[in-house]
Structure 1
Amino acid sequence: MGISNIIARITEYISEAAMRIFGPTDDQYPNTGVQPFTGEPYKKGTADIW
């Protein structure tokens, strides 16, 4: 009885992990879209002076 209980727990653990990996995402990230660029444009001459 103990071995069958251990095998059942291992099977449940692996199947829950597989359902979490291959299931639909449940992330609650906001929809951001395209963000405008607010930095300085790259200038080749000034970036090489470091």
Structure 2
Amino acid sequence: MFFSHFLYSQFDSFFFTKDRFYTLELLKNSIVGMNKLLQLSIFDTTKTFIF
């Protein structure tokens, strides 16, 4: 629930802010960060399964 609320607030600020490029960059950075976290956790689990 918190995550969806976070996304909604991001989109709200995107539509209501004057500096849309900054909000787009912020959204992209958060998505990239989440991807890195997911890849790291997947890598850790596969590492523990292998060894």
**TM-score normalised by L of structure 2:** 0.45
- The structure showing larger relative contact order (alpha-carbon pairs under 8 Å, at least 6 residues apart) is 2
The structure in which a higher percent of residues are helix is 2
Query: Highest CA radius of gyration, 1 or 2?
Result: 1
TM, length-normalised to structure 1 = 0.46
